[in-house]
Amino acid sequence: MKSQIILIMKTQIEIALKIFALFTIVLGVVYPLFITGIAQLAFPFQANGSLIRQGDKVIGSELIGQKFDSVTYFSSRPSAIEYNPMPSGGSNLGPTSSKLKQLVADRKAQWIKSNLLSDSDAIPSEMIFASASGLDPHISPKAALMQVERIVKARQFDSDKKEQLLKSIAKLTEGPQFTFLGEERINVLRLNLQLDQLANH
Q: What is the mean pLDDT of each run of 10 residues along the chain (201 residues)?
A: 77 92 95 94 89 88 91 95 86 89 94 91 93 93 96 95 96 91 94 93 79
Which pLDDT belongs to residue 1?
65
Confirm if 77 and 155 have CB atoms less than 8 A apart: no
Cα Rg, the chain, nearest whole Å: 26
Q: How far apart are the first and last CA of the chain?
A: 91
Which pLDDT belongs to residue 88?
83
Euclidean distance between CA atoms 107 and 102, whole angstroms: 9
Of 169, 175, 174, 173, which Cα lies nearest the Cα of 194?
Answer: 169
DSSP 76-109: PPP-TTTT-STT-------TT-HHHHHHHHHHHH
Contacts 24+ apart (CB under 8 A), 148-152: 149/115, 149/116, 150/71, 150/114, 150/115, 150/116, 151/71, 151/72, 151/73, 151/74, 151/195
Strand partners, 138: 187
Which pLDDT belongs to residue 72?
95
Which pLDDT belongs to residue 110?
94
Euclidean distance between CA atoms 127 and 76, whole angstroms: 8
Which pLDDT belongs to residue 19?
94
Hey, what's the torsion of the CAs at 91, 93, 94, 96, to 10 degrees? -150
